[in-house]
Chains A and B, each alone.
Chain A
C-alpha cells in the first residue's frame, strides 16, 4: 500500500490535461455587458470586436446572464414575424433577451469537465467564476479546441 501510494504521488501533478484557469481568457480581457445596455450597442460591439457573445454582469461584477449572436438573430426573426422594423430591436435592453439560466465553472475545472458541461448544455462559452459568482474568466469553444489542439500538436 505504501509503495503504491508513493508511486501515485510521483504521478501527482504530471497530468497533461489543462485546467480552466490555464485556458481561460482572463477578466481584464473579456468584453461584458450591463443589463441596461441597448441591444443596438450589443450588436455593434459583437460586430466590431468579432465575438459571438458575452457575459452580462451586475455592478459587483457578478454574472447574471449571457447574451449571444443567436439571441439577437432570434429577435430579428421575431421582429420579422411580427412585421416590425429594426427600430423594435433598437429599443430593447440586454436584460430582455439575455439567457439567465447559465452554467458556470470554477477555475479548477479540468478540460474534460468543461468539455462535458459545454456538450451537455450545448453552450458556446462557460464563464469561470469564484464562489461568489464574481467573473474571473471565460472559456469559449475556441479556447477548448485550442486546449485540445495544443495536446495533439
Chain B
C-alpha cells in the first residue's frame, strides 16, 4: 500500500493512510490551496475569493479515482476562519470526493465552510465528509447542492469528533430524474454538541431522495436533528424518505429530533421516521451468553446500529477504514490520544 505524506512544510508531519493507489490528494491549509491552479485529467482547480477556498470544475469519469481534499487548520491562523468552496460537475461527469478536516493543534479553532455544489445533467457525485477534529474545536459546514436532470448525489457525513459540529445541508432537486441520497453518522461524548439541519427540496417532478441519519450519544453529549422534505407544487411522482435513529448511552445524553414534511403535490410517496432508544438488554444478554464480555457486547451492538450507514459507503477500502475508525472511536480511544489531534490511526 502506498503511503501518503501530509504537507512536508507543516511542522508536525504525519502520514495519512487513506488507502488506495488511485487517490489524488489536494491540500488546503487554513483554507488556502497548496498547489498551483490548473487543469489535470479534466479536473480544474483554482482558489476562491480572497485566495481561500477551493473552486473545482470536473469533467469526465473519475468514479474509480477518488479525490481526497484534506483541509487542515494550522497554528498560523488561530482566528475564526470562513471560506467558500465551489464545485461543479459538468454534464455526465462522475466523481468520488473524500473531504477530511483536521486541526493541527488543540486550539479553539472555529471554521466555517460554505460549499456550493452543482451537478449538471447526468453528473454523479459520491461525497464523503470526515469530520474529525478535537474536543474544543468548532466546526461549521454549510452545503448547498443543486441537481439537474438525472444527476445523482450520494453524500455521507461522518461526524466523528469535535467540540461543536454543525452541518447544514440543502439539496435542490431541480429537474426530473435527479436522485439525492444523504447519510449521516454522528458520535459524540463528553460535552460535545452536534447539529444537523437537512433540507431536501423537490422542486421538480420525478425526483427521488432518501436520508438516513444515525447518532450515538454518550455522557452529556447533545445532538439536534432537523430534517425537512419539501415537495413543491407540481412536483408529482416524487419519492422521498427520511429516517433518523438515535442511541442514548446515558441518562444525561440528549437528542432533539424534528423530522418534517411539507408537501404541496398529491402524487407523492413520502415517509419519515425518528426513533430514540437505548442498548437492547435482551440483545446484550444474548451476546454475553456466548462468552463475550459486557464492554465488547456494548461495542458490538453499537457497531450493529451504525452498520447500515457505513454499508452505504461504496468504496470498499474506505469503508473498511471507516469501520475501524468508528470502532476505535466507540472504544473511547480518540480521547486517550492526547499527544495527537488527528485521530487518524
A joins B in a complex: no
